Each structure stands twice: as structure tokens, then as C-alpha cells.
Structure 1
């Protein structure tokens, strides 16, 4: 079993569900960049892992130079790997990789509201439905009217947890643009647009509780943890 989230990311080399999820997320990021207005595109990534979803997409996207992003991740080894990828891509002046706590509002100060918000590998690790609802509603602090949200959620034991996310997002003023299941059928990836007006980012407020354990990711086919 993996010791931490850094080792957990090795599953991307072997697990079809993670490879398929990453492909869909990358496509949604690309689509979001395509429809963004001319000028700067601000992106934030919550619990970003090593940032491979965004960085992989930017490697060959024509609007890469328009993206100014903040990626937030607690595992220092993942952050180090992400920063090396940013340097290699020549994007160090545009993308900052923060080794910090993505659950606290202070980590987003100066980077929001964003045009694109990435919340992948998170929603399965916020406790019960009340915790999930809290996180989804607090996305208003990171968003503005028209912001695009990209998210993932695993479905386990025949339970469509992704349907719950879709329902709660609608209640939180997010309109569904697209939704896909991986070919394995047990991981949902969604693209939503925020219809609300957004809310001012509070100071030092916990936006959600992340309860993920990397050992649960030893069977990623049924999990949503990691990047």
C-alpha cells in the first residue's frame, strides 16, 4: 500500500480508471480554455497533486501563455515534481505551485475569483453529504459568474455518488455543461458553469474537511483520491 499521496500517484502508470479520468479532465480543461474570453485566464486547482491535469493540457494548448494559475497541494514531494514540470514548460512566471492547505480560504487569497476551478480527486474525501454540500457551496468564494468548474467523483458498490454531486451543484447555482463516465463506468467527471454572483473570500475560514487516506487509494478503481 502507498505510504503517502506521492506514492499513490504511481497508480496512474497502471490503473485504467485513473488514466481515463485524466484524459477526460484534460479534455474539459482544454474545452474551458477554448471558450474563455481573450486575455488572462485565471485558474485554481484544489488539492492539485502534481498538477499533471492542468500542466499536461497546457503543454500543447494555444492559450497556454494566457493562463495564470495557482495550484495548491499539501504533499511537498508532489509540489516539487509539479514545480519542475512548470519550469520545464517555461511557465514559472504564470503558474505558482503552493505547498499549503487547500482546505483553508487563505490559500486562495489573491488568486480568486478564477475563470476555471479544478476540484479533482477531492469530492470523495469530504465526509458525508453535508460535508460535500459545504464544499460545493463554498466554491462561490473561488468563482464568479460564468466560471467553469471541473470535478471528479467515483461511484462505488453500484451507488452513483456522481449523481449526488450533480444534484447538489445544481442547488449551489452551478449549471451542468457536460458530464462523462470513464469507460470503466465507475468514475464521473463533470464540467459545470457557475451562474451565481460569487462571494467575497473570507479570511482564514475552513472551506471543507479533507479526510482522505492514501491507503484507500490502493484500489483506485473505487476511489477519487489523488490528483
Structure 2
């Protein structure tokens, strides 16, 4: 079992469900980039890991030069690896990697409202109350028309992603697409925000992250 989130990310080398999830996430990011209006595209990534979902998409995407992104991640090793990838892609002037707590609203000031919000690998590490809290706070991160890309694993036969879809649909978000991995135990969704942007967060703490790498879903 991985002892920290840096080790957990090494599972992408061997875990088909994670590889399949990443493929779908990149597909949805690519769709969001293509569907965004002409001009600059502002992106934020919550609990970004090493940024492989966004950075892997941008590598050969025709709109890569339109992107201005902020990725927020607490693990310094993952941030270091992500920054190295950004340098190798020649995107250092467009993408910043913040080594900080993704749950704190101040870490997004100046980068929101965003055109695309990435919240992958997050929802399964929150209690139900904290999940609802974060979903409620997406109106601070998102501009009207923004795309939100998210993931949620299933376990013990329970399709947890269905609850996320229901909550989003009643919170001003319209579903654009949803896919399960071929393994059938990880869902990836993309929703579009139809509500109004809240210029100030309802509270400084957007959510409380309670997950541990050995039990991540």
C-alpha cells in the first residue's frame, strides 16, 4: 500500500482503472478546451497531484497557448514533478503550480472565476457533508458556462458517482457527459455551470480533505 500521495501516483503505472480514468479525464479536458470561447482559457485544478491530467492533454492540444492555469497541490514532491513537466512543455509563463492546501480559498484568488475546473481524485476522499460543501463552493471557482471535470470511484457495489451527478444537477450544473471506466468502478463526469459566479467564497475553508493514500477511491 502507498504510504503517501507521491507513492500513490505510481499506481498509474500498473492500475488499469487509474489508467482508464486518466484517459477519460484527458478526453473531457480536451473537449472543454475545444468548446471554450476564443481567447484566453483560465483553468484551476483542485488537489492537482502532479498535474498529469491537464499537462498530458496540453502537450499536443491546438489551444495550449490559450491556457492560463493554476494547479494547487499540498505534496511538495508532486508539485516538483509537475513543475518539471511544465518547464519541459515550455508552459512556465502560462501555468503556475502552487504548493499549498487546495481546500483554502485564498489559494485560488487571482485565478478564478475559471473557464475549466478540474476536481479529479478529490470527491472520494471527502465525507458526504464535505462533498456537498465543496460542490456548493464550486460557484466561487467557476464562471458562468465553466466546465467542471470530476471523478468518483465506486466500491462495495455502491455507485457513488450517481450521488454526485444528482447533487450537481440540483446546484446549477448541467451534465455534458459521463463515462465509467472499462473496469466499471470509476466514474468521470463533466458538467457545465449555469449559475452565477460568487465573487467571494462563502467561507475560507472550501472543504476538509480526509482521505489517506492506502484507502483512496
> Normalised by the shorter chain, which TM-score bucket?
over 0.9
User: d(CA) in 2 for partners of 1:215 and 1:159?
Assistant: 19
Q: Equivalent residue for 1:31?
A: 31
- Aligned mates of 1:144, 1:69 — CA distance in 2: 14
Is contact 1:173–1:194 with CA below 8 Å preserved after alignment? Answer: yes
For residue 210 of structure 1, what is the aligned residue in structure 2?
Answer: 209
The alignment's TM-score, normalised by the length of structure 2, stands at 0.98
Please state how far the C-alpha of 1:215 moved relative to its aligned partner.
1.6
If asked which structure has higher relative contact order (CA below 8 Å, sep 6+), I would say 1
TM-score, normalised to structure 1's length?
0.94
Query: Alpha-carbon deviation of 1:216?
Result: 1.3
Task: Give the C-alpha shift of residue 130 in structure 1.
Answer: 2.0
Instruction: Provide the alpha-carbon RMSD of the alignment.
Output: 1.0
Change (3 A) 1:101 1:204: farther
Partner of 2:186: 187
Cα distance in structure 2, aligned partners of 1:145 and 1:84: 32
What stretches of structure 2 of length at least 5 have no aligned partner?
Answer: none
In the alignment of these two chains, the number of paired residues is 217
Higher strand share: 2
Q: Which runs of 5+ in 1 are unaligned?
A: 218-222
Q: Displacement, 1:171?
A: 1.4
Aligned equivalents of 2:130, 2:36: Cα separation in 1: 31
Task: Please name the residue that 2:137 is paired with.
Answer: 138
Map Cα deviations across residues 84-124 of structure 1 (whole Å, 9 max, x no partner). 00000000000000000000100000000000000000001
CA distance, structure 2, for counterparts of residue 209 and residue 41 of structure 1: 28
